[in-house]
Amino acid sequence: MMVSFEKIKSDGNLREIIKAAFDADFPVDGGWGYDKASATIIEHSDLPMTQVEHTIASMRTHLEMNMTLDEDLRYGGINLNEVKREAVQDSAHKYHKVTYEITAIKEKEYNAFVDEYKEGYGKSGFDLSEYFARRKAATLHRKEIYWFELEGDAANA
């Protein structure tokens, strides 16, 4: 079953959206990085670029899969792992095109798995391999590309 998620709009206020939703201040502009034209512009960073990019990609993913959805449609246990990275240069700009594998479980199911683990772990009769097999079967996998444009100090990092 293919599950799709609505693209998040930034309306030119990416920095403010991140501040409001995550109480974090990132020196960013542009869009949410769905393609080169809407790349997230990273102006500078004191942190390693891969860490900044992963954090911003995680924010977009949490907005897509949880924060903007009705309660019954939300996902929890959302994780991103980088699987591919390309440096792309055009005449005036430097980009990172990063592919992440995203895993998540429906939020209500995820919370039930967490509770079951807390209650059952270490007790006789709790089948850990069966538990993880059910959890694995409930996990959604998707691959998404995120575009980042590097400016100023970030382009030289």
* Per-residue pLDDT tens over the stretch 66-91: 999 999 999 999 999 999 999 999 88
Residue 147: both structure tokens together: 């575009």
Ramachandran class of 47: left when φ > 0, alpha when ψ lies in -120 to 50, beta otherwise = beta
| Average pLDDT value over all residues in the chain | 92
Enumerate long-range contacts of 61-67, CB under 8 Å, 24 or more apart.
Answer: 61/100, 61/102, 61/144, 63/8, 63/21, 64/5, 64/6, 64/7, 64/8, 65/5, 65/102, 65/104, 66/107, 67/21
Q: What 3-state class would DSSP assign to 55?
A: helix
What pLDDT, on the 0 to 100 scale, is given for residue 111? 95
Q: What SS3 class is residue 83?
A: strand
Model pLDDT, residue 12: 75
pTM of the model: 0.90
The ranges of the chain with pLDDT < 70 are 1-2, 152-157
Q: Which two tokens stand for residue 91?
A: 């005449």
